[in-house]
Each structure stands twice: as structure tokens, then as C-alpha cells.
Amino acid sequence: MCRVFRVSNSSFYYWLKNPQGKRLIDDNHLMIEISKIYAESKGCYGSPRITAELCSRGIIISRPRVARLMRRLGIKSDSVLFWAHHPPLEERDRRSLDPSVKWENRSPPIRDVMYKVLF
């Protein structure tokens, strides 16, 4: 049978003793750790933060592998980003647009603001 599938005898007997591969066993342990970290963060951590947390716990792993395992678990970050943009020029204070007014007397410029809403 080994000749038909072009597999060495030693590989076949190794497979009989260990039907799950080392990577699959490691992936199962990592998925448990990823689930714990995800639950601790209340669903806010994505793959970069989970990778950093695993590295701080002494588990060296790449971000793409964490992302792949998160997809397999069906979890992803629940954080939502909202952007508040500055109003159009027509709606701003007209006094600040007057070139004869010094900068100190103008209203401060309105910048883009980013904030995070956690659920």
C-alpha cells in the first residue's frame, strides 16, 4: 500500500501512531489561547493585538497565522471607528476667513477627530 501512495514505510507507521499532525495539534492549542485573549479583551482585539499578547506570554507566532486561526474560529474585532469631519467652508465662522484678521483672533482650525466606540 505504501508503494501505491508513494509513501515511505516509516511515514505510514508514524501516521498510524499520530493521526493528527504536529501543526494541527499546535493550532488547536493556539486557538484555545486566542479564544481566551479574545474573551479577555471583550472582543476588541484583532489579530495584531492578539499576536502581541501571545508574544508577551512567550508564544512566538506570526500575525497571518493568528488571522487564519481567528477566521477558522469565526471571530473578529468588534470595535467600530467613527470619523467626525470638519464642516464645509461655507458653514464655518466667516470672521475666521477674513484675511485682514490676525491668526490669533481667528477661531482655531477644526481637525479630523477619530474616536473609538467599544461595545
**Length of the chain measured in residues:** 119
| Position with higher pLDDT, 85 vs 77 | 77
| Position with higher pLDDT, 111 vs 27 | 27
* Same domain for 66 and 13: yes
Name the DSSP letter for residue 89: G
* Same domain for 20 and 6: yes
Question: Which positions ≥6 away from 113 have C-beta within 8 Å?
Answer: 83, 84
Read off the pLDDT band of 3 (50, 70, 90). confident
Number of domains observed in the structure of the chain: 2
| Joined grid coordinates for residue 35 | 479564544
Residue span of the structural domain in which 85 resides: 81-117
117 and 42 in contact (C-beta within 8 Å)?
no
pLDDT for residue 89: 54
* Same domain for 56 and 17: yes
Name the DSSP letter for residue 101: S
